[in-house]
């Protein structure tokens, strides 16, 4: 294996944690949306604009959570390797 492959945590761990972070972010956005808007974002009565806004907010939250989780995991792994 090359040094680049050994520099971080196992890919399966990174994938599992980023997937979990994305799912948690999606749930949080859904709950917050229902609290603020008072309607279910997956309801058939939602307009196209509301559906697109929910999709954009949800995607941004999921992507941010995945990036944050990945960076935290790799940072912790580097600290563990240094000690």
Is 4 within a domain? no
> Tell me, what's the pLDDT at 46?
80
Is 21 within a domain? yes
Is 29 within a domain? yes
| Alpha helices for the chain (secondary structure H) | 3-6, 11-37, 48-82
Rounded average pLDDT over 19-48: 87
Is 59 within a domain? yes
> Tell me, what's the pLDDT at 32?
93
Query: What would the pLDDT profile of 45-82 be if each residue is shown by its tens digit?
Result: 888 888 899 999 999 998 998 888 888 887 776 656 66
Is 56 within a domain? yes
Rounded average pLDDT over 30-40: 89
- The dihedral built from the CA positions of residue 39, 45, 49 and 53, taken in this order, carries a sign that is positive
d(CA 23, CA 66): 9
d(CA 48, CA 32): 19
Look at 10 and 24; give whichever has higher pLDDT: 24
Determine the structural domain holding residue 27 and report its residue range.
Answer: 10-82
Q: What is the domain count for the chain?
A: 1
Is 44 within a domain? yes
Query: What pLDDT band is residue 2 in, cutting at 50, 70 and 90?
Result: very low
Give the Cα-Cα-Cα angle 47, 57, 61 (nearest 5 degrees).
155
């Amino acid at each position: 294996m090359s040094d680049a492959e050994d520099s971080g945590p196992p890919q399966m761990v990174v994938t599992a944690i980023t997937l979990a972070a994305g799912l948690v972010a999606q749930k949080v956005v859904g709950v917050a949306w229902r609290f603020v808007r008072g309607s279910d974002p997956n309801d058939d009565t939602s307009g196209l604009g509301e559906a697109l806004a929910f999709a954009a907010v949800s995607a941004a939250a999921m992507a941010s959570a995945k990036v944050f989780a990945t960076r935290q995991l790799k940072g912790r792994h580097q600290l563990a390797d240094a000690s």
